[in-house]
Amino acid sequence: MTKDSPMTAQRESSSPKAQAVAKTVDSRSPFVRLTELIAGIAPGKPAINLSVGEPQHPIPPFVGPVIAAHLNEFGRYPANKGLEPFRKAVAGWLGRRYALPRPVDFEHEVLVLNGTREGLFLAAIAATRYVEPRIGTPAVLIPNPFYAAYSAGALAAGCEPVYMPATRDSGFLPDLDALDDALLKRTVAFYLASPSNPQGAVADRAYLEKLSGLARRYGFLVFADECYCEIYSTHIPAGMLETSGPDFSNVVVFHSLSKRSNLPGLRVGFAAGDKRFLAHYLELRNVAAPQVPGPAQHVAAAAYGDEAHVEENRRLYNAKFDLADQIVGDRYGYKRPAGGFFLWLDVSKYGGSEIVTKRLWQEAGVRVVPGRYLAREQADGSNPGADFIRVAMVQDSAATAEALHRLVAVLG
């Protein structure tokens, strides 16, 4: 095993013994911790918030008219699996967007979600009820840094979260070769984000094929978080369903309109893939998850049928990364990410993520997130995010340029 092997990573568990250890791990929202970090510190200049990954681009023009056309559906309970027009639109979009082995069956292989967060959370609970009994303590594998819903779902499911370091040495993705047989035999689910949050790394087809092969061999599920798939610089990110075989076995992808269509407040996404698992997943969602309002699903169907607003959205993000290329240059280990809309900047020379975050707020009024808060400490005490800050490129070009100029002026 290498030093950065996930077998050496800090783990959390719902077992009584491990709960005592887990109490020392701050598992609160990174944004709650950020607020506490800078509490009482006045911003040195008019504030620019680059901490939350909340898209600020205009919403598509068809949103209002579609809602208006379906207002009466607010008076009905929608089916939890999703309206047929929505599921058909999703299946059609998946077929156009990805090189799939066959068309997606909208009736059995697509479910609507309230965005991806609640879907990713409940997926871990459903997985524990679906997979065959594990050899040893059931485990959920999570990239480190990670999206908080992965860890919350693993703990709610009574599984042991195992944090797999995703560092520069491994291309900012978990090292699949570092996973040993004993760990894989007790794995219930493997969460993967590609493009990743916060690093913007994109898994290639070979990586995805290897992961889907491991899932079939060991009987666990891959939960592929692909919500940033439409924000990329040059190469279109591959999708997990492209590599999972003709029956999409052991693989479920999660998508949202928050990033693709600038609709974070709509709270509409979907899960698609292994129909046997999705049937079990739907049973849980029927009793534990809120339905998605019909008018919102009609907006989503329209969004998945339109590419013009997506292309414009991508153009706006690429223009801001052009600014980062010019203003940040080669400072702080910056390289234009393959996907997503974050900068992952190495600030180890300036005191690390928390010190730099406070300094940028106090001196420049720029609000970012300490990378330490997006990751977990490993068994050797290291934290894959401790040397980094995450900068969300969500404001308009003028505000983004101003914030980046301030950042460089403070750090040099």
* Percent of the residues in the chain that have a pLDDT greater than 70, as a whole number: 94
Examine the pLDDT at 274 and tell me if it is beyond 80.
Answer: yes
Average pLDDT of the chain, as a whole number: 93
Q: Which pLDDT tens digit goes with each residue over 365-380?
A: 999 999 999 999 988 8
**Which segments of 234-345 does DSSP mark as H helices, in order?**
257-260, 275-288, 294-304, 308-327
Q: Quick one: residue 329, left, alpha or beta (phi over 0 = left, psi -120 to 50 = alpha)?
A: left
High-pLDDT (> 90) share of the chain, %: 91
According to the model, what pLDDT value does residue 52 have? 94
- Confidence (pLDDT) at 27: 79
Q: At residue 8, does pLDDT exceed 50? A: no
Q: Does the pTM exceed 0.95?
A: no
Give the model's pLDDT for residue 21: 33
Q: Does residue 23 carry a pLDDT above 70?
A: no
Q: State the DSSP H helix or E strand holding residue 163, giving kind and residue range, or none if neither.
A: strand 160-165
Helix, strand, or coil here: 278? Answer: helix
Bridging pattern class, strands 388-392 and 342-346:
antiparallel
**359 vs 408: CA distance, rounded Å:** 12
Read off the pLDDT of each residue in 232-241 and give the average, rounded to a whole number. 96
pLDDT bin (cut points 50, 70, 90) of residue 6 is: very low
Contacts of 297 (CB under 8 A, 6+ apart): 78, 82, 83, 85, 86, 112, 268
How many of the other CB atoms lie within 10 Å of CB of 86?
A: 26
The burial class, CB within 10 Å (0-12 / 13-18 / 19+), for 246 is exposed
- C-alpha neighbours within 13 Å on the C-beta side of residue 73: 17
Domain residue limits, the chain = 15-58+309-411, 63-305
What's the confidence (pLDDT) of residue 379? Answer: 81
CATH number attached to the domain at 15-58+309-411: 3.90.1150.10
The domain over range 63-305 is classified in CATH as 3.10.180.10: no
Rounded CA-CA distance 353/386 in Å is 6
Mean pLDDT over 52-70 rounds to: 97
Mean pLDDT in residue range 247-267? 97
pLDDT by residue (tens digit) across 196-233?
999 999 999 999 999 999 999 999 999 999 999 999 99
pLDDT tops 60 at residue 12: no
